[in-house]
Amino acid sequence: MKVALIGYSASGRSSLYRAAARGLAKGDVTAVPVPDERFDTIVAQVKPKKQTPATVILSDDVEAVAASGKPFSLRLIDQAKKAELLLHVVRAFENPTVPFHAEVDPFRDHDTVDVELVLSDLQIVENRLERLKRSTTLKTSGSPDYMEHELFTRMHPELEGGTPIRSMELSEDDQTIVRNYQFLTGKPLVVAFNVGEEGPSQRLSTRIGELTEAGTPAFAVCATMEEEIAQLDPADQPEFLASLGVSEPAGNRVIRAVYDALGLITFFTAGENDTHAWPLRKGSTALKAAGTIHNDIARGFIRAEVVHYGDYAAAGSLDAAYSAGKMSLEGKEYVIRDGDLLHIRNKT
């Protein structure tokens, strides 16, 4: 799952990228493990030859937003379209040695980028509606062009009013059409306000709460401090964090925020050769989980042996959980819960 960081130059986007990558960044695209104490516990108990955590792909290769108030460039739009989620980094810190495009104003910058995201999608919808006027099947009820025209005609006034596509009420068929265009406001959005070491102002904290309450996850983070923390030896981090009065790096919170915003849960397979944490869309079935592991396992699916993590942790091991009767046999349509440990019985 690719996450693209977007924002103005000098917003601290790259600092946050390196902080969230926790020392793993080698270029501008990095696979970052999702922090999960459950996975660490399973690995410590199973002691597998190989361990594979769930990951998200962070990308810092998107062109910066133009500071002159111009629309998004085609290059920026094309790069952002390749991501599943956009992480908007907004400057909210003062630093006279780091020049910015104007007086620092996180509210202005956040709102401006929000508007440009909507305008980018509005332009696509308007262009498509204009082309559809020349379609020979436009008036044929049920045809692809007819359905697309109906949908985009409904979407147009909402976009003009500033409503992002992710907030619109769309049917499954509508969403199928929308996905073909990779609209920027159709993607999940997370907002990171990059503050100074003094933390966010009360006004900014209020805005963060409002955004989160409205369905856009938002938080404050000091990217420069978090980058310094990420560069520390892991053994030294707990003491330093304790001196700051926090339990973990904010970079971990960034990864969890985008993971949750992508609508993902985690299930586990606990094998001696490889213990694996697998990302999966909320609401997915056991058959989908089997296909996530391997297509052949899904094709030969018979049953899923399921132990929930809470029962596993209470028992102390998979064998103990099985002996305590905490394993259930489930079919293809079983909906996977966050934290399920699976063993798929299959014909292969």
At residue 28, does pLDDT exceed 90? Answer: yes
Listed by start position, the domains of the chain span: 283-346
* 21-25, 41-45, 325-329, 336-340: least confident range: 21-25
Residue whose entry in the numeric block shows the structure tokens 């030294």: 236
pTM of the model: 0.91
Q: What is the pLDDT of residue 155?
A: 97
Average pLDDT on 68-80 reads 88
Residues 6+ apart with CB under 8 A from 162: 114, 115, 118
pLDDT at 253: 84
The closest alpha carbon to 151, from 114, 179, 116, belongs to 179
> How does residue 52 score in pLDDT terms, banded at 50, 70 and 90?
very high
Q: pLDDT value at position 160? A: 96
Q: According to DSSP H, which parts of 232-294 are helical? A: 237-244, 250-261, 286-293
* β-bridge pairing 2-6 and 55-59: parallel
As a whole number, mean pLDDT of residues 115-136 equals: 95
Longest distance between any two alpha carbons in the chain, whole Å: 69
d(CA 339, CA 341): 6
Q: Is the pLDDT confidence value at 121 over 90?
A: yes
Higher pLDDT, 179 or 67: 179
CATH superfamily of 283-346: Beta-grasp domain (3.10.20.30)
